[in-house]
Amino acid sequence: MIRDVLSTINGIEVYPIIGLILFFLVFTGLLVLIFRMDKNLLTKMSNLPFESDNENKEIKRN
Amino acid sequence: MQLETFRYDNKIVRLFTIATAFWAIIGMIVGLLIALQLLIPELNLGLAYTTYGRLRPLHTNAVIFAFVGNGIFMGTYYSLQRLTKSRMFNDTLSLLHFWGWQLIIVLAAVTFVLGYTTSKEYAELEWPIDILIAVVWVIFGINVMGTLIKRRERHMYVAIWFYIATIVTVAVLHIVNSIEIPVTFWKSYSVYAGVQDALVQWWYGHNAVAFFLTTPYLGLMYYFLPKAADRPVYSYRLSIIHFWSLIFLYIWAGPHHLLYSALPDWAQSLGTVFSLMLIAPSWGGMINGLLTLRGAWDKVRESPVLKFMVVAITAYGMSTFEGPMLSLKNLNALTHFTDWIIGHVHVGALGWNGFLTFGILYWLVPKMWNTELYSKKLANFHFWTGFVGIVFYASSMYWGGLTQSLMWKQFTPEGTLQYPNFLETVLQIVPMYILRAFGGFLYIVGVIAMIVNLMKTAKAGKFIPEEEVQAPALVKPDKSEKKSHAWIESRPIQFTIWATIAILIGGIIEIIPTFVVKSNVPTIASVKPYTPLELQGRDIYIREGCNTCHSQLVRPFRSETERYGEYSKAGEYVYDHPFLWGSKRTGPDLHRVGKKYPNVWHYHHMIDPRTMSPGSLMPPYPWLAEDALDISTTAAKVSALRSIGVPYPVGFENIANDLLTKQANEIALDLQRAGVPIDADRELIALIAYLQRLGTDIKANNTSAR
């Protein structure tokens, strides 16, 4: 029964092709974008949640 | 630099906090009640208002839109003010948003028990409430965008991106899926029919999960987890990838709810591809969350807040792995329509949404009331009852779902179904239903403990309604940042436009072809519009929520064609406004039930299902034989349907009630001959007419062809 169900996936050939193209375009674009970002800026931004409180004034760095 | 003094509004956060806790209890108790009704149908109290079919939408909507919805607004109103270093744009809008949303919830609860429903899952509310939702959502959107425009912090932190994507996408989804033609104040028909309606509905349904239960909560995770752990998020770069790839991919994956259905193959494959790709960004987000705690795991042992958050993020990872797996056609064949899916969504709802909300509440209430949590011990008690509750819930549903599905598909060596009686496969998993109800009960006990704990905390502290802070005014963007992602992070309008484009690409590619290419749905000549009586019967089917337990979709498997008959074709649904394929088979499929049993069988089965199927878990519907059918709406219904493409001839609405009465008399006469005295004007007659019509058009074709 299990073997029967897990046998073949219909039309599996097209999945990797569509997937590859989309992955490639979106992710390379994004990767280029984010690796051009300034490290200090990234640190500053990841610390934004800590800047706004009265009781928690010190700013943390990585 | 000149410092500006301003105050954060905590009062609106408090309102949403109270609403979150209140609706959590209501939504979950209704959930427990319907879980028990599956064991003891008598728990519907013999009332139409409290039957399973009407309460199930109440449960799902209360948990999603009331509990999680208020949770989203609570977290957003708290974090947005702090991340933008400014008060909410407008206090009146905040209050309008709050009270408007609570009004929607109350109206939803009332209309559902009265049987006013569109039948489309998570979009069951009728058109006047749909309009109200759109208005309140726009108020929320204006309030958030206004806050962003007058912000003092130039960069929008990642949490805010998720809030923006949520606001835009939920608006698009809600409006597109709710396009319906009103018949009366509380009755409308979806303008889409059959396959098209199914596609639009599950594009919506899937993305309601994505953009109501996931993206806003990821935003909350990116704010409250670092706050609670007192350390910044693991990787800000990863969070950028997480955001864009998630919103870009999520929107495409809707058709995985319709695998092996009458939906065209290309759309099914598209859904599967994108569902698989979704693992990447989802797990990226989970890893980013969990790694934020690197070097701080000792804190997790101490802090109930972090405990809840860690389990929430893990549950997010589990259900976002499971989702893509379930959208593989072979696994889907096994799990669709079964309790496995119920288990899957509850890992998400109880684990991810529930536990993250609880973590935030345990962090937020002591903060806003300026005190310590009343009892850590009680919070730990909540954690463990909740956790064990989830384990009971999920494991029993996985086990039960798999067992039942394998029984449906089991053949004897002679090639006949081993369990031809559907009821046998239901009764087999009743012990699992008991364990599920127990799991849900434990979970609710935990939530009650939390509410007590939070109330005691609030009582011990003093609420800070306004928090005074100082910050410099907004400065102009720095030119050097122009070429990186930082450019868009400091421009809310441009950001919103790009996020909208990202979600629209998937939506357009998925839906446009179904709109314009008529050949996607091959028509079948013998498929005719419903007769007026059948139409009224169909609306009773919708009112009673029959579709919550019965599908109308025979999949092309031998195990299903053997059990139910010919598999369902897209062309058979062209006049179905809305489609009624269903998503769960607590009872058998009904697409081929027409003419399978005599009228009198249906009569007895509706009055008391157990006389026809001993041990059945279906509730009785005796009031259908007592209440007279409202035929004052027939003409309006016919006209409304004709205006959206159902080919009723002009003037048909004038003779519709004559035809209705004629057909009703025939059925009543047949029942009277079989020894059942019933008047022809009862609702049950219309329902029987509809059930006897189901799936028979295509049979007529076969007979005449022969």
Residues 6+ apart with CB under 8 A from B509: B252, B270
Could you tell me which CATH number the domain at B3-463+489-511 has? 1.20.210.10
Q: Give the model's pLDDT for residue B478.
A: 61
Q: State whether A5 and B334 contact (CB < 8 Å).
A: yes
Cis preceding-peptide flag for B41 (omega within 30 of 0): no
Residues of chain B with CATH 1.10.760.10: 532-705
Is A26 part of any domain? yes
**pLDDT above 50: residue A61:** no
Q: Are B194 and A17 within 8 A, CB to CB?
A: no
Q: In this structure, which topology does domain B532-705 adopt according to CATH? A: Cytochrome Bc1 Complex; Chain D, domain 2 (1.10.760)
A25 vs B: CB within 8 A = no
Q: What is the mean pLDDT of residues B678-706?
A: 82
Q: What is the mean pLDDT of residues B437-452?
A: 98
Confidence of residue B20 (pLDDT cuts 50, 70, 90): very high
Q: Give the model's pLDDT for residue A36.
A: 79
* Residue B221 φ/ψ region, left for φ over 0, alpha for ψ in the -120 to 50 degree band, beta for the rest: alpha
**pLDDT above 70: residue A5:** no
Domain tally, chain A:
1
Q: What is the mean pLDDT of residues B651-675?
A: 95
Q: Give the model's pLDDT for residue B1.
A: 67
CA distance B179 to B184: 15
Q: Give the model's pLDDT for residue B479.
A: 60
Please tell me which of the candidates A7, A46, A47 has its beta carbon nearest to residue B330: A7
The burial class, CB within 10 Å (0-12 / 13-18 / 19+), for B418 is: middle
Q: Are B364 and B303 within 8 A, CB to CB?
A: no
Is A44 part of any domain? yes
Quote ipTM for the complex: 0.70
Q: State whether A38 and B329 contact (CB < 8 Å).
A: no
Cis preceding-peptide flag for B647 (omega within 30 of 0): no
Amino acid sitting at position B548: T
Q: What is the mean pLDDT of residues B322-348?
A: 93
Chain B residue with Cα closest to A14: B269
* Tens-digit pLDDT profile for residues B664-690: 999 999 999 999 989 999 999 999 999
Mutation target among B236, B243, B336 for the A interface, most CBs of A within 10 A: B236
Confidence of residue B484 (pLDDT cuts 50, 70, 90): low
Q: What pairs with residue B6 in β-bridges?
A: B469
Q: Give the model's pLDDT for residue B698.
A: 84
Q: What is the mean pLDDT of residues B625-651?
A: 94
**Tokens in use for B525?**
């000549």
Q: How far is CA B694 from CA B583, B590, B603, B660, B699, in A?
A: 18, 7, 16, 17, 10
Q: State whether B469 and A54 contact (CB < 8 Å).
A: yes
CA distance B367 to B374: 12
Q: State whether A49 and B410 contact (CB < 8 Å).
A: no
Is A3 part of any domain? no
Q: Give the model's pLDDT for residue B704.
A: 41
Nearest Cα of chain B lies from the Cα of A56 at a distance, in angstroms, of 10
A35 vs B: CB within 8 A = yes
Radius of gyration (Cα) for chain A, nearest Å? 23
Q: How many CB pairs under 8 A join A and B?
A: 116
Is A17 part of any domain? yes
**pLDDT above 90: residue B359:** yes
Q: Give the model's pLDDT for residue A53.
A: 57
Is A31 part of any domain? yes
Mutation target among A6, A8, A22, A46 for the B interface, most CBs of B within 10 A: A46
**pLDDT above 50: residue B585:** yes
Residues 6+ apart with CB under 8 A from B413: none
Residues of B in contact with A57 (CB under 8 A): none
Q: Which residue has the higher pLDDT, B335 or A31?
A: B335
Residues of chain B with CATH 1.20.210.10: 3-463+489-511
Mutation target among B249, B484, B555 for the A interface, most CBs of A within 10 A: B484
Nearest Cα of chain A lies from the Cα of B410 at a distance, in angstroms, of 8
* Tens-digit pLDDT profile for residues B372-426: 999 999 999 999 999 999 999 999 999 999 999 999 999 999 999 999 999 999 9
Q: What is the mean pLDDT of residues B184-207?
A: 89
Q: What is the mean pLDDT of residues B455-482?
A: 84
CA distance B564 to B337: 15
* Tens-digit pLDDT profile for residues B221-249: 999 999 999 999 999 999 998 998 888 88
Q: Which H or E run contains B9? A: strand B3-9
Q: What is the mean pLDDT of residues A26-37?
A: 80
Q: State whether A46 and B245 contact (CB < 8 Å).
A: no
**pLDDT above 50: residue A56:** no
Q: Give the model's pLDDT for residue B634.
A: 95
Q: State whether A52 and B85 contact (CB < 8 Å).
A: yes
Q: Give the model's pLDDT for residue A58.
A: 42
* Tens-digit pLDDT profile for residues B80-134: 999 999 999 999 999 999 999 999 999 999 999 999 999 999 999 999 999 999 9
Residues of A in contact with B329 (CB under 8 A): 9-10
| DSSP classification of residue B524 | -
A27 vs B: CB within 8 A = yes
Q: Give the model's pLDDT for residue B184.
A: 93
Q: Give the model's pLDDT for residue A3.
A: 36
State chain B's mean pLDDT as an integer. Answer: 91
Residues of B in contact with A1 (CB under 8 A): 406, 409-410
Helix, strand, or coil here: B256? helix
**pLDDT above 80: residue B450:** yes
Residues of A in contact with B237 (CB under 8 A): 34-35, 37, 42
Residue-range definition of the domain harbouring residue A26: 12-50
**pLDDT above 90: residue B523:** no
Q: A36-50, B333-347, B554-568: which range is least confident on average?
A: A36-50
What does B175-218 look like in DSSP terms, one character per residue?
A: HHHT-EEEEETTEEEESS-HHHHHHHHHHHHHHHIIIIIIHHHH
Model pTM score: 0.92
**pLDDT above 60: residue B58:** yes
Is A60 part of any domain? no
